[in-house]
């Protein structure tokens, strides 16, 4: 069965889609889990982060202070690039190991790799299908403000720090429209799962480009 990369900008609705896919029986692996594992206490990744950014990013409990690290790198392109040079290779290795294990143990199951930063950090060609959970940047900013309590400036900065809508659409095989209600997004995720299982492997070229099917 296919290895599906599930991507999308912040507040696009990706968690809603991945929850439905998992409920339907897909194995869902989360890039954020490997990002945390890469800098777990005692890890070479954490040591490298501390060497670059100093003791101020270490919490009192010996774990990485993500808020402090975020404050250091946010808006600093050099610091951000340095952090990514440490973290991204580790996440690639950890995720590759997890994907190999999952596909060996459950070869008949759709495997979904939830990877927000696909456009920024990975080669889309590593995956059989790239699914973009899509909502316009303006809508995602509004969601950050209304649902997560960000100020307009904070929300805008987080949206702009990621790849653009156009960059993500350019690498997507499938676009799942998450600009409508949660219920519509969930229904589209069910459609997607059915289409993936029906199309793989001989009819992948016939996989619909847009979900829900009624989208234009």
Query: In terms of residue numbers, what domain contains 18?
Result: 1-26+109-216
Q: What pLDDT shows up at residue 207? A: 86
> Based on the domain organization, do 191 and 100 belong to the same domain?
no
Q: Which residue, 107, 141, 167, sits at the end of a domain?
A: 107
> Based on the domain organization, do 141 and 213 belong to the same domain?
yes
Residue-wise pLDDT tens digits, 45-77: 999 999 999 999 999 999 999 989 988 888 888
CB atoms within 10 A of CB 145: 16
Q: What single-letter DSSP state applies at residue 135?
A: -
Q: What pLDDT shows up at residue 214? A: 57
Cα angle vertex 52, ends 47, 56, to 5°?
Answer: 80
* Ordered per-residue pLDDT tens for the chain, 216 residues: 789 999 999 999 999 999 999 999 999 999 999 999 999 999 999 999 999 999 999 999 999 999 899 888 888 889 999 999 999 999 999 999 999 999 999 888 899 999 999 999 999 999 999 999 999 999 999 999 999 999 999 899 889 989 999 999 999 999 999 999 999 999 999 999 999 988 876 777 778 889 996 544
Considering only CA atoms, which of 99, 101, 82, 91 is closest in space to residue 31? 91
Q: Which residue, 107, 127, 150, sits at the end of a domain?
A: 107
- The burial of 202, by beta-carbon neighbours within 10 Å (0-12 exposed, 13-18 middle, 19 or more buried), is given as exposed
Considering only CA atoms, which of 9, 31, 16, 15 is closest in space to residue 156? 9
Q: What pLDDT shows up at residue 131? A: 97
Cα angle vertex 181, ends 179, 183, to 5°?
Answer: 125
**Domain tally for the chain?**
2
Q: Which residues contact 129 (CB under 8 A, 6 or more apart)?
A: 2, 3, 4, 5, 173, 174, 196, 204, 207
Q: Could you tell me whether strands 129-134 and 111-114 are parallel, antiparallel, or unpaired per DSSP bridges?
A: unpaired
Asked if residue 195 lies in contact with residue 208, where contact means CB atoms within 8 angstroms, the answer is yes
> Based on the domain organization, do 114 and 164 belong to the same domain?
yes
Q: Which residue, 87, 107, 127, sits at the end of a domain?
A: 107
* Alpha helices by DSSP H, 39-160: 44-53, 66-73, 77-105, 118-121, 137-148, 152-160
Considering only CA atoms, which of 111, 119, 112 is closest in space to residue 169? 119
Helix (H) or strand (E) holding 9: none
> Based on the domain organization, do 126 and 199 belong to the same domain?
yes
């Amino acid at each position: 069965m296919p290895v599906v990369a599930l991507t999308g900008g912040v507040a696009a609705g990706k968690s809603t889609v991945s929850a439905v896919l998992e409920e339907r029986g897909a194995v869902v692996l989360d890039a954020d889990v490997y990002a945390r594992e890469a800098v777990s206490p005692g890890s070479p990744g954490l040591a490298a982060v501390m060497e670059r950014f100093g003791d101020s990013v270490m919490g009192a409990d010996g774990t990485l202070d993500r808020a402090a690290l975020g404050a250091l790198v946010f808006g600093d392109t050099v610091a951000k690039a340095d952090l990514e040079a440490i973290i991204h290779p580790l996440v690639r290795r950890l995720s590759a190991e997890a994907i190999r294990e999952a596909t060996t143990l459950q070869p008949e199951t759709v495997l979904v790799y939830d990877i927000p930063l696909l456009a920024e950090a990975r080669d889309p060609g590593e995956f059989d299908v790239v699914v973009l959970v899509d909502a316009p940047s303006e809508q995602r900013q509004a969601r950050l403000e209304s649902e997560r309590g960000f100020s307009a400036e904070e929300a805008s900065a987080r949206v702009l720090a990621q790849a653009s809508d156009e960059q993500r659409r350019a690498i997507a095989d499938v676009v799942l429209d998450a600009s409508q209600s949660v219920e519509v997004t969930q229904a589209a995720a069910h459609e997607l799962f059915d289409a993936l299982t029906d199309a793989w492997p001989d009819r992948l070229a016939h996989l619909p480009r847009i979900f829900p099917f009624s989208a234009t």
